[in-house]
Amino acid sequence: MCGIFGYVGARSASPILLEGLRTLEYRGYDSAGIYVPGQAPVRAVGPIDNLAAKLTAPLPGSAGIAHTRWATHGAPTELNAHPHLDMSGTVAIVHNGIIENYRELKEGLIMQGITCTSDTDTEVLAKLIGSVYRGDLLAAVREALSFVRGTYGLVAMSERRPGEIVTARMGSPIVIGIAADGNLISSDPSALLAHTKDVIYLEDGECAVVTKDSYEVMTISGKKLNKSPETVEWDVESVQKQGYEHFMLKEIFEAPSVIENTIRGRLMPEKGRAKLGGVERVLDTLVDLDRLTIVGCGSAYYAGQVGRYMFEEYAGLPTEVELGSEYRYKRNLPDKNSAVIAVTQSGETADTLASVREAKSLGLLTLGVVNVVGSTIARETDAGVYNHAGPEVAVASTKAFISQLTVFVLLTLLIGREKGLSAEEGKRIAAELAALPGVLEQYLKNTDNIATVAKKYAAYRDAMFIGRKFHTPIAYEGSLKLKEVTYTHAEAYAGGELKHGSIAMLDEQFPVIALVPKDDVYEKMVSNIEEVRARKAPVLAIATEGDMHIKAVADDVLFIPKMHPILQPIVTTIPLQLLAYYIGVEKGLNVDRPRNLAKSVTVE
């Protein structure tokens, strides 16, 4: 949540800062601001365009910091926008995270005659740093942070030393970019790609001083660290729209290439096996587990629910799925012969990260399914799998979710073949997975029927999604996408649960989206559709190509290609993503940046 960008170098800073904010706008878009030493901060409410309108000319100066905000403490107002200043007006900071003890810190500052004018915890931190500043900004930041409880990705500058940026991290990502004409700081490596692919990731409890020609990293307690740059595998083109109207649409249409990238070098169709270098050294442990727990939040949680069906049905591995926000707080009874898989696109999701640390404290093996190389969860887990889905810019997860499902298929093949999955079945799964990118590429050549159906269903205020078995979590994911992107009231249920309460809501104005591919629960789903029809609710069925019977029981049908049952959820997901997208567009909404949401949830 929120985006940080900083630059110190040879060029004019403010245009670089502004462009950096545009790249980060998906992380927060209620307000934004820029600070260049020697100038007053420039702030604006709303999108980055509003800030750009205030910058009629570049601010003089070759260093500065900037922020785009997703509000936590204080409403989205210009007064609450970052950067914030100390009492002298010479020290400025931008900050991601939450200062949990900001109220008591604020009371202590007031006793010193230091007051705050905003509603934010960040201004308290700015005032605190200023109160201990004696000419050495690094020393002031380190001293101030010794009083702080909470999370922060912090970047600070002083007017007295305009060629120096100080940054620190605790629970909220900070990345330093090493470029030819200066150095940069960001909360997301994707924002640095226009300038460099060479980056340094700060760990929790670390800080750094960055100048035009140098960087120095240390612990907040002062111990010097030797860190060398890593190379980001993405390129700048991957975070551009490339002719699509929205990032969300582009990322949905990237599904075929995402699956190709996820399985590349990992699939052995002729053997019916998968090869995952990141988990090979712990494969024997995985095969002998008594229990596996998958932890995630949002779409990653639903991907984990599909993964549970895969592991239990094809690998014979007892599996549980937990919300990261619950696992970290519940009593987790120690079981040494179990493991935890954390699923997260960003690798920085706060609740999922806390769950990993909880699992490690219990002595459990931890694995990550992560898209961002070098992210905290990728570094802190014992083993894992990178998605290789590329950067995902739209707030609603689409291609990352597809990649997560694909990784679970690979893991199921890997573990299943060691636990009794037959070679014949393994070869069938592997062959169809290898063919899946081509199947989806063909399917996506014409989505006009989905756009047409979306116009009809955009008129409804409510929707219910139902599915069974593998498609129960996909129903929940479809419901989530519709809520996120269109603000439609949407719910989801296992088809068999309709009679246990939820069917009471159905009428002519409450449509049901039924996931009814031809599988072993097909007839049960058709019965559920009949129950819905008896209550006069409109039915939109997502069904297998060639299923003519479904047309007799549904008002509208979107057909999908038939695949192996373990792969069918991946295919079924695509029309649900497109349905949400087209309904959002029909309603005139910003589908890339839904209200009240941010891409990476790094606050608790």
Number of neighbouring beta carbons within 10 Å of residue 112: 10
The number of angstroms, rounded, from the C-alpha of 534 to the middle of its chain's C-alpha atoms is 40
Map residue 412 onto helix, strand or coil: helix
Helix (H) / strand (E) containing 431: helix 423-443
What single-letter amino acid sits at 176?
Answer: I
- d(Cα 350, Cα 355) in Å, to the nearest integer? 9
Is residue 197 part of the annotated active site? The answer reads: no
For this structure, is 599 an active site residue? Answer: yes
Residue 461 CB coordination number (10 Å): 10
Order of all β-strands in the sheet with 182-186:
42-45, 31-35, 63-69, 3-9, 182-186, 175-179, 198-201, 230-231
Q: Which of 165, 163, 5, 157 lies closest to 86 in space, CA to CA?
A: 157
The terminus-to-terminus CA distance of the chain in angstroms comes to: 11
SS in 3 state form for 295-342?
EECCHHHHHHHHHHHHHHHHCCCCEEEEEHHHHCCCCCCCCCCEEEEE
375 within 8 A of 173, measured Cβ to Cβ:
yes
Residue-wise burial string across 45-54, b where 16 or more C-beta atoms lie within 10 A, e elsewhere: bebbeebbee
Do residues 419 and 506 touch, judged by C-beta distance below 8 A? no
Residue of 2, 116, 207, 297 marked active site: 2
Catalytic pick among 127, 197, 481, 599: 599
**Residues taking part in catalysis:** 2, 599
